[in-house]
Amino acid sequence: MEDFISKTKLPIYIVHAFTDEAFRGNPAAVCPVPKNVELSESQMQRLAAEINLSETAYIQFSQQDKQPTFENSDRFSLRWFTPIIEVPLCGHATLASAAILFNMYENKSPEITFDSKSGPLIVSQEDDTISLDFPLNPTQKQDQNEIKELLKEICDASIIFDVEYSPTTKKLLVRLKDETPRSALEEMKIDTELLVAREHTGKIKGVIVTLKGSENNGSFDKHGNVYDFVSRYFAPWVGIPEDPVTGSAHTVLADYWGRYLKKSVLCARQCSARGGDIRIKIQGDRVKLMGRTNIFLTGHVYI
């Protein structure tokens, strides 16, 4: 009992992001770190590995705030860990972190700024959604011959329309031909171990497979509204074979589809088995990603 009492007690939450339903969207663990607790990177990584979700987020107090509380402060530090590595940006875990501050701690700030390895990230509540202000990540044409062996592990070359690459995020974007049914994207089987075997240079850290939405290919929601695009995302290089709903991937998709469709407001679906919807607003070199959340679990861990 004495050993148990002497351990550090940390609050922890699991939040389903980009959905308001249980068992949908992308689950993230959120750990608000009390101001009297210091966690090492090793402890953060080990806890993320133990929780074993795609991301565990750590909310820490900003050094700029002299009297910090989770209830009243409007600036925090935020870090994200997969089970095997720290990542510079994670959309769904940022959304989940904001949901905990706004809902569990009843933080009334109109905007909250998260200082991160991707710079300051601003979150706010808009009606029944939370809005994330992220950097837009442009893509550029990718020579398919350079990665033809990798592409073979993703899908048949006959259904590929375009391939682009985001150097800032190291994400590869593979666009399927418009006539490809949404069901074909959803049923696509990718051996993620072979992806890693085909690409081990470090250039690529994630693969986005995307399809232009249309009524003919079945890319519409339960109300019959057509999505501008749908996608799936695979990141075995960072320990995530397939991510259910990915904010960082949509900072890349927003640039690509915004240019192609000539639209600054987009509606998207990541059609993994869990699935989730994202609304998008492009504003210059920034992008707002908007989604709902479902707080699923609250508790404590002892380390």
Cβ contact 301:12 at 8 Å: yes
147 token code pair: 């990665």
Is 56 exposed, middle or buried (CB count within 10 Å of its CB: 0-12, 13-18, 19+)? Answer: buried
Residue 220 gets which letter from DSSP? B
Task: Please identify which of the residues 38, 41, 55, 215 carries the catalytic annotation.
Answer: 55
Q: Quick one: how many helices (H) and strands (E) in the chain? A: 7, 18
Partners of 177 in beta bridges: none
- The total of other beta-carbon atoms located within 10 Å of residue 242's CB is 18
Residue 41, classed as helix, strand or coil, is helix
Secondary structure of 240-271 as H, E, C letters: EEEECCCHHHHHHHHHHHHHHHCCCEEEEEEC
User: What distances in angstroms separate CA 63 from CA 56, 67, 165, one per listed residue?
Assistant: 21, 10, 36
Distance CA 159, CA 21 (A): 33
Is 55 tagged catalytic? yes
The answer to whether residues 151 and 174 touch, using CB atoms and an 8 Å cutoff, is: yes
Stretch (H or E) spanning 232: strand 229-235
- What is the set of active-site residues? 55
